[in-house]
Amino acid sequence: MRKKSLSLLSVSLVMTLALSACGGNNANNTANNAGKATNEGSGNTAPSTAKATKVEFWTFQQLHAEFYTEMVKRWNTANPDKTIELVANVSPYDDVHNKLLVALQSGSGAPDFADIEISKFPNYIKGEPQLVPLNDIVEPDLDNLVKARFDIYAKDGNYYGIDYHVGASVIYYNKEILDKAGVNADDIKTWDDFAKAGKVVLDKTGIPMTTLETSEQWSMWLQTAQLPSKDDLLKADGTPNLDGPEVTQVMKWQQEQMKSGVAVGAPGGFHHAEEYFGFMGKGGAASVWMPLWYMGRFTDSMPDLKGKMIIRPMPAWSTGEPRSAGMGGTATVITKQTKSEDLVKQFLSFAKLSKEGSIATWTILGFDPLRSDVWDDEAMKAPNKFTEYFGNNIFDVLTEVKDEIEGINIGEKTPQVIDAIKTQSNVRILLDNEDTEKVLKDVNSGL
Amino acid sequence: MSNTPNVTRVKQTSGSSSISSLLYSQKIAPYVFVLPFIISFSVFFAYPVVSAFIMSFQEIVPGSSKFIGFDNYKELWNPTFFKAIKNSTVYTALTLLLLIPIPLVLAAFLNSKVMIFKNFFRSTLFIPALTSVVVAGTIFRLAFGELDGSLMNTFITALGFEKQRWLGDRWLGLMTLLILACWRWMGINMLYFMAGLQNISKEVYESAEIDGANTWKKFTNITVPLLKPITIYVFTISIYGGYAMFTESYMLYSGNRSPKDIGLTMVGYLYRSGWEQNNLGLGAAVGIVLLAITFIITFVQLNLFGLFKKEE
């Protein structure tokens, strides 16, 4: 009898426990909802009567989340009848890309819209893309937009992503070092000039003219993409082109600079390594060429160079040839799993493609906007931390090279080609001094 | 809501005899008790392994995945993958050589009566195991940096050597990985051995002393043989740990991008093909090969240690 009542007691205890657990959950849910509702209230400046649509956004960059939070505020003020409640999730780079890939592949769990970095982008348009084509918002504005930045996120005539910036590549000179060597940055027109000036700088100051990335692709990709040819790391048809004449020319030139000491390998292997920031920040090299978005790395990670750096168009391979390439980038995409496709599309168009949105990408993020018709707008001249650091001529440089910004080829092979550059070709050519053509043939045949 | 428990209780009363007989049944109860393990094993291990096995024969593309036979395995027949296998194997072998004998000796020291500051050494040797690999990897990357000012370069230039590109060289890079592994795992392995040492009875040592055995004799003839079960355990988990190594290399090279793939491990290759290049079929194939390799090695090793022989 005792046994029986004991087991009875335990069973009923378990049941109550289970039930109260359910109750607890409900309470939690309501609490959550309440929390979100207050969030929405504080984010909403306009008194909205209509219920806000909840929209989820994933990114790996805190700044991007802040940008959209600000743009949602502006959107809600302008459109009180269709307000948005933004839930922005920021996670580390790899996490976001992996989670999004799984969510899209398995068909559930994806956010309404998300950021995808360009070197990962081809992974997401394999097979049948799980993203919404954005042609109806992109095409009407295409005349004012830098089209090359949309082609890189396109497949079969559909545009799947909208970037934050043009990513025009420029060269950053340390004017203090150039002055010491008596070199004028404006006299450097071609890469040959650059090499000669580099020799002067090296002889007079003992400081290398530049650093080259040995475990990343930017240094060589920019130089390859700026060539007038249609092929860069990939041929125009999407096949790997590492042994093509373009890459060979660039890598031969880079190897020569390494041999003569004009260039050294970037400490840490790439231009985002902590070691590089330390080295460059202390005046370790006289220049570096990177896209315009690299400005943020100077202001945040190399504060000592404030007022010493100047921005110029990149040297050309020969006089009259293009001096820039649109490079790097992160696309915002809308997933097919969204329940409010039209609303998110309209919002994205407002946030990134409109004149107001384009100006905001500069004022909030410090990026070169996708709309070239705002580059000479008055709003772009207002001082911010970048003009304080680099001077006021940032957009003059951009306007100067406006028609020389070369596009790049992005395809399914891009991630593989970039892996090969990071781990094989750059190290073997620049650090181990192996024969350029042989290495490139070798590596390309392995792809 | 408040009524619900009462309702269930009433229901339970009527069915209680059958439930209690179920709970007290000698046949069924064991299964009930192992059920949590069976469930978590099948959900988190068996199911993923089976589906990875199936995926390794497929090309995984959203909307149009299809079976492609052995193509993924054929694609694995490439120099990069062989390099990854080689790297993982060398790393595993060397960690076994370092991380079994040294912790064993250290444990014997810390267990000895004459040792001073025992507790201090125990905790300092164990603390690294509590740090995150990510933090440790980042700090090691900076300590083993290539610039003049990095910790290791300052150290060896002071000793009169030339500065090194630690992470750029095949053997120096491997050495760094091994130092990181030793720093991190020494304490854990030592803990296992110390637990084993507590189980060896003092009387065995006493009788050996009476027979005139010195410390070395006692160590080789009593401590080492009697620690065999622990050693087998540590050996087995170290093989798995060695082949599964990825985070350390990933953090040390700040990404999956060691020069000429000197730091590429099998899991690194899995990550690269499966995620970085979105070829989950190929990634699954790497996983299956990794599973097969560790399975075979562990099986052979357990066999050599005589674990499958009947007790004499």
pLDDT confidence of A308, banded at 50, 70, 90?
A: very high
pLDDT confidence of B254, banded at 50, 70, 90?
A: confident
Instruction: Kindly list the residues from chain A whose CB atom is less than 8 angstroms away from the CB atom of residue B79.
Output: 446
Residues 6+ apart with CB under 8 A from B131: B184
SS (H, E, C) A253-272: HHHHHHHHCCEEECCCCCCC
Average pLDDT over chain A reads 86
Of all residues in chain B, the one with the smallest CA distance to A426 is B259
Residue B193 has pLDDT above 70, yes or no: yes
Give the nearest partner residue to A214 out of B142, B259, B264, using CB atoms: B259
Burial (CB count within 10 angstroms: exposed 0-12, middle 13-18, buried 19+), residue A442:
middle
Residue A384 has pLDDT above 80, yes or no: yes
Q: Which superfamily is assigned to B71-304 in CATH?
A: MetI-like (1.10.3720.10)
State residue A5's pLDDT score.
54
**Cα first-last separation, chain A:** 76
pLDDT confidence of B215, banded at 50, 70, 90?
A: confident
Q: Give the separation between CA B280 and CA B179, rounded to whole angstroms.
A: 33
Instruction: Kindly list the residues from chain A whose CB atom is less than 8 angstroms away from the CB atom of residue B257.
Output: 215-216, 269, 419, 422-423
Chain centroid offset of residue A86 CA: 22
Q: Give the separation between CA A295 and CA A395, rounded to whole angstroms.
A: 13
DSSP string computed for B132-181: -HHHHHHHHHHHT-SSTTSHHHHHHHHTTPPP--GGGSHHHHHHHHHHHH
Which pair of tokens denotes residue B267? 């899991």
* CB atoms B5 and A123 under 8 Å: no
Instruction: Kindly list the residues from chain A whose CB atom is less than 8 angstroms away from the CB atom of residue B19.
Output: 7, 11
Which residue matches tokens 């043009």?
Answer: A166
Q: Where are the domains of chain B?
A: 4-55, 71-304
Residue A25 has pLDDT above 60, yes or no: no
State residue A19's pLDDT score.
43
State residue A274's pLDDT score.
87
Instruction: Kindly list the residues from chain A whose CB atom is less than 8 angstroms away from the CB atom of residue B264.
Output: 423
Task: Give SS3 for A410.
Answer: coil
Residue pLDDT, tens place only, A132-169: 999 999 999 888 888 888 988 998 889 999 999 988 99
State residue A138's pLDDT score.
92
Q: Which run of H or of E encompasses A299?
A: helix A295-301
Residue A3 has pLDDT above 70, yes or no: no
Of all residues in chain A, the one with the smallest CA distance to B258 is A423
Instruction: Kindly list the residues from chain B whose CB atom is less than 8 angstroms away from the CB atom of residue A4.
Output: 16-17, 20
Amino acid sitting at position A276: Y
Q: Around Cβ B166, how many Cβ atoms within 10 Å?
A: 21
Strands, E, within chain B: which ranges?
A: 58-59, 66-67
Q: Give the separation between CA A95 and CA B59, rounded to whole angstroms.
A: 23
Q: Give the separation between CA A293 and CA A365, rounded to whole angstroms.
A: 9
State residue A399's pLDDT score.
84
* CB atoms B261 and A275 under 8 Å: no
Residue A400 has pLDDT above 90, yes or no: no
Rg (CA), chain B: 26
Q: How far is A101 from chain B (nearest CA, A)?
A: 8
Of all residues in chain A, the one with the smallest CA distance to B259 is A423
Residue pLDDT, tens place only, A314-359: 999 999 999 998 888 899 999 999 999 999 999 999 999 999 999 9
What is the rounded average pLDDT of the residues A70-86? 93
Residue B202 has pLDDT above 70, yes or no: yes
Which pair of tokens denotes residue B240? 């798995």
What is the rounded average pLDDT of the residues B74-96? 94
**Residue A372 and residue A145 in contact, taking contact as beta carbons nearer than 8 Å:** yes
Residue A67 has pLDDT above 60, yes or no: yes
